[in-house]
Chain A
């Protein structure tokens, strides 16, 4: 094993130990704050402080007791479904819109101020309005994700279009490409890496939003699950939930990164 790899594995382990120590410290100071070991037992099962046998929430994440009582896996699946629905909608609308903004100065002047205003609005601010409109948990969550995650896609797509060099457009002009051919053969290939950067940012936002949205809308999903565990005074499960949210988010970003590399012509090594 080379030195670099040893460092890559060893150093994070040290940091992990430090984090767990800090956590244990907090648990000593804050009353009823779950310790690392209590949290571990709550996650994977074992014997708790009172000597009782505990079934961990991660021991059987696939169980389905009834419509309202499902394992953690299904909570995550429900959340992911909403995330992907909102995300897909954001791509479907955001990419063409971004293309238009990038190609037309008029459109850019017309819409840019509103994009700048809408972009920083918190999903929590949209939520009550959307809940009022749709009166439906799923629709509210999906539309909240849509409206908060669409902006990086629009902005990055427009940026990609603007990065198309004059030289490529000259080639297109000499060959007398139609407007449509210019988009398909030149503008899109140049923009694809930018679009994927936007999508990656957007997916990150979507995953941030879902937890908040589900806490407020209730029903099922990882966000609701965390809130539910708070109401049930299962504080250790909140920590488990947080870690899971982080891991899933990391995984989503990793997958999105791989996909965007695949479509990026500037990255070597694709078939």
Chain B
């Protein structure tokens, strides 16, 4: 197994401002991500965490530095880095089934019709949406939509699953439910996952490492926290686990003491 799976090398992103110096959103980002590792990136709004994710997905390009996946430089977006968008981004005129089918069809054009159907249905089952597969996105709840988004992203067997505040728009009960889904899926199909979040509990519960970003401009990685908890994790039992409490406090202190941010 190659020791280097996904690496970010000296990443910098600048946005030009007419008549002024460039705005430096993030700078000097260096990070090695191992295969099947779950990484959370946490920080206050405006710290460039979404920009960072967009550069990994290829939807945005870095001004400086390299992003290398399995020895290859990343150039532009591709299905090897599937994205779960915050607003799910399902196509509203396609049913749940067709939304996933569209992705599988494009990425795996050689599947026979039967294989295609089996594959789509397998991933619909994985997120427990068999009963809703013929529904349009507008006919299902926000949490269900996001589950479809996850199923669609996983159905194309990406090397990396990128999640941009995937549960940010959901209420806390639905969010917990989706976190459970994600953990259960991760037990079944190991994936390398990068999650952007601003939820401390979510970061600790889901990830192996938590990347804490300093505030922008010139945002960079402030601290990296290793969460030494065994998978599968149980959110109720964790509440009194010393390691869980240690991790929570470390993030809390980073976000609200070292890099507190006032609302403007």
Binding site for B on A (CB under 8 A): 167-168, 170-171, 173-177, 181, 185-186, 189, 265-266, 268
Contact = CB atoms under 8 A, between A and B. Distances in A.
The 9 A-B pairs with the shortest beta carbon distances in the complex, nearest first, are A265-B93, A167-B89, A173-B77, A189-B93, A175-B106, A174-B77, A171-B89, A174-B83, A170-B59
Interface in B61-87: 76-79, 81-83, 85, 87
Nearest to B93: A265
Contacts of A177: 106
Given A168-B89, A170-B89, A265-B92, A176 B83 contact: no
A167 B87 contact: yes
Nearest to B149: A171
From DSSP, what is the main secondary structure of chain B's interface residues?
loop
Nearest to A170: B59
Nearest to B106: A175
A105 B138 CA distance: 32
Interface of B: 57-59, 76-79, 81-83, 85, 87, 89, 91-93, 102-103, 106-107, 136, 138, 156
Nearest to A174: B77
Contact of A266 (B76, B91, B92): B92
Given A176-B79, A177-B106, 14 more contacts: A167-B89, A170-B59, A170-B83, A170-B89, A171-B89, A174-B57, A174-B59, A174-B78, A174-B82, A175-B79, A175-B156, A176-B78, A265-B93, A266-B92
16 contacts: A167-B87, A168-B89, A171-B89, A174-B57, A174-B59, A174-B78, A175-B79, A175-B102, A175-B103, A175-B106, A176-B77, A176-B106, A185-B91, A189-B91, A265-B93, A268-B138
Nearest to B83: A174
From DSSP, what is the main secondary structure of chain A's interface residues?
helix
A177 B103 CA distance: 10
A174 B83 CA distance: 7
A131 B58 CA distance: 56
Contacts of A175: 79, 102-103, 106-107, 156
B117 to A, nearest CB: 19
A225 B261 CA distance: 77
B79 A174 contact: yes
A122 B85 CA distance: 48
A44 B162 CA distance: 73
Contacts of B93: 189, 265
B106 A167 contact: no
Contact of B91 (A174, A186, A268): A186
A271 B94 CA distance: 13
Contacts of A170: 59, 77, 83, 85, 89
A168 B83 CA distance: 12
A165 B178 CA distance: 25
A190 to B, nearest CB: 8
B56 to A, nearest CB: 12
A113 B127 CA distance: 51
Task: Specify which of A173, A181, A186 lies most central, judged by the most chain B CB atoms within 10 Å of its CB.
Answer: A173
Nearest to A192: B93
B214 to A, nearest CB: 27
Given A167-B87, A189-B93, A265-B93, A174 B81 contact: yes
B91 A168 contact: yes
A228 B77 CA distance: 66
A266 B82 CA distance: 27
Contacts of A266: 92
A177 B81 CA distance: 15
A185 B92 CA distance: 12
Contacts of B91: 168, 171, 185-186, 189
Contacts of A173: 58-59, 76-77
Contacts of B77: 170, 173-174, 176
Contacts of B87: 167
A189 B102 CA distance: 14
A167 B78 CA distance: 15
A252 B42 CA distance: 57
Task: Specify which of B77, B81, B82, B107 lies most central, judged by the most chain A CB atoms within 10 Å of its CB.
Answer: B77
A265 B92 CA distance: 7
A265 B137 CA distance: 11
A167 B85 contact: yes
A189 B92 CA distance: 9
A176 B91 CA distance: 16
A266 B78 CA distance: 30
Contacts of B136: 265
Task: Specify which of A171, A265, A268 lies most central, judged by the most chain B CB atoms within 10 Å of its CB.
Answer: A171
Task: Specify which of B78, B102, B138 lies most central, judged by the most chain A CB atoms within 10 Å of its CB.
Answer: B102
A178 to B, nearest CB: 10
